[in-house]
């Protein structure tokens, strides 16, 4: 499905620790690549490579301002991942709601058996 | 449906290769244990609202095997199986779990521990899944039927606040 393809790309993009560091820095605001290089203690080619991946999946956008290229985070692109984070939990929440119904029935059964 | 909801399942990742799901139920632990281990009862909750249980085999004793299969909405089968390692009625079940992949192969086995602790008539169920690596764990979280991924990232939680 199209949705799965897109979101797994975004997932792959944030699965890499260095890229998560970039996201963390950009979460605080728009930055030139030099700031990212300094913050991560990585080389500029390394940072640029990660930025390219993040841009490809739309998590990071770039714009030129004078001589600088500024990078910013598009948190909306991370939304599907956040939803995913919750998905497995939602499955279990759903199961346990039904589990509650089963327990209600078992309690009734027991109540019928007892003289209370 | 008179009782207030006992809350949502709480999912945490205590270690890189673990998944822990915790939920409290308004029932004594014998009943929670029964609902967790008797085939006709398991069949009622395990598929969630995502399909129909087709197979629910439970041979609840050390070395005994289990297999769950459901027909998910959308027409595909979802099946898991494994073996019980330890069974303490009303208290604890340790079992392996293997996902049957659509291509006919099996996933790596995880070791799961279900513990039932009762306090004042309420029972807390803890489901701990232990995998061999963070990658396997993330795959499991990713396979939450609709493709859920728990990256377990603080950064995403932080960002989530801004996403609402």
> Do the domain assignments include residue A33?
yes
Tell me: the pLDDT tens digits for B132-152?
887 777 777 765 433 333 333
Q: What is the mean pLDDT of residues A91-115?
A: 87
Average pLDDT of the residues of chain A:
82
Q: Is A31 helix (H, G, I), strand (E, B) or coil?
A: strand
Q: What is the ipTM of this complex?
A: 0.79
Q: For residue A72, is pLDDT > 50?
A: yes
Model pLDDT, residue A82: 62
Asked if the structure places residue A105 within a domain, the reply is no
- In whole angstroms, give the CA distance from residue A91 to residue B47: 9
Domain count for chain A, please give it. Answer: 1
Low-confidence ranges of chain B (pLDDT < 70): 1-8, 142-164
Does the pLDDT of residue A27 top 90, yes or no? no
Give the C-alpha separation, B104 to A83, whole Å: 29
What is the CATH number that goes with domain B13-163? 3.30.530.20
**pLDDT greater than 50 at residue A5:** no
Check CB contact of A16 with chain B, cutoff 8 Å.
Answer: no
Q: What is the pLDDT of residue B144?
A: 44
Task: Identify whether A112 is part of a domain.
Answer: no
pLDDT band at A13 (very low <50, low <70, confident <90, very high): confident
CB-CB under 8 Å, A110 with B162: no
- What is the CATH number for A40? 1.10.10.10
**A56 located within any domain:** yes
Please tell me the distance in Å from A43's CA to the nearest CA on chain B: 23
**A44 CA to chain B: closest CA distance, Å?**
23
pTM tops 0.90, yes or no: no
How far is residue A5's CA from residue A12's CA, in Å, rounded to a whole number?
A: 11
The full set of domain ranges for chain B reads 13-163
Q: What is the 3-state secondary structure (H, E, C) of chain B?
A: CCCCCCCCCEEECCCCCEEEEEEEECCCHHHHHHHHHCHHHHHHHCCCCCEEEEEEEECCCCCCEEEEEEEECCCCEEEEEEEEEEEECCCEEEEEEEEECCCCCECCCEEEEEEEEEECCEEEEEEEEECCCHHHHHHHHHCCCCCCCCCCCHHHHHHHHHHC
Residue A12: give the domain boundaries: 2-75
Whether A43 contacts chain B with CB within 8 A: no
Note whether B51 and B70 are within 8 A (CB).
Answer: yes
- Within 8 A of B3 by CB-CB distance, chain A residues are 100, 104
């Amino acid at each position: 499905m199209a949705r799965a393809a897109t979101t797994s790309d975004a997932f792959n993009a944030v699965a890499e620790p260095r890229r998560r560091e970039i996201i963390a820095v950009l979460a605080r605001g728009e930055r030139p690549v030099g700031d990212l290089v300094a913050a991560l203690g990585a080389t500029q080619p390394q940072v640029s490579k990660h930025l390219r991946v993040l841009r490809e999946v739309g998590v990071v956008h770039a714009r030129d301002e004078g001589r600088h290229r500024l990078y910013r985070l598009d948190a909306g692109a991370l939304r599907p991942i956040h939803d995913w984070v919750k998905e497995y939990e939602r499955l279990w929440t759903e199961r346990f709601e039904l589990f509650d119904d089963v327990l209600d029935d078992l309690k009734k059964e027991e109540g019928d058996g007892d003289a209370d | 449906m008179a009782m207030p909801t006992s809350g949502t399942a709480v999912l945490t990742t205590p270690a890189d290769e673990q998944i822990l799901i915790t939920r409290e139920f308004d029932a004594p632990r014998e009943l929670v244990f029964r609902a967790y281990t008797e085939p006709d009862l398991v069949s009622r909750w395990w598929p969630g609202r995502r399909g129909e249980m087709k197979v629910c085999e439970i041979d609840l004793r050390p070395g005994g095997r289990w297999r769950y299969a459901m027909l998910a909405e959308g027409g595909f089968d979802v099946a898991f199986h494994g073996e019980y390692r330890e069974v303490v009625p009303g208290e604890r079940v340790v079992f392996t779990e293997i996902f049957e992949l659509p291509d006919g192969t099996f996933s790596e086995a995880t070791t799961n521990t279900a513990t039932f602790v009762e306090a004042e008539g309420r029972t807390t169920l803890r489901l701990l899944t232990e995998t061999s690596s963070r990658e396997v764990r993330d795959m499991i979280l990713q396979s939450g039927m609709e493709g859920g991924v728990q990256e377990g990232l603080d950064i995403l939680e932080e960002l989530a606040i801004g996403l609402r």
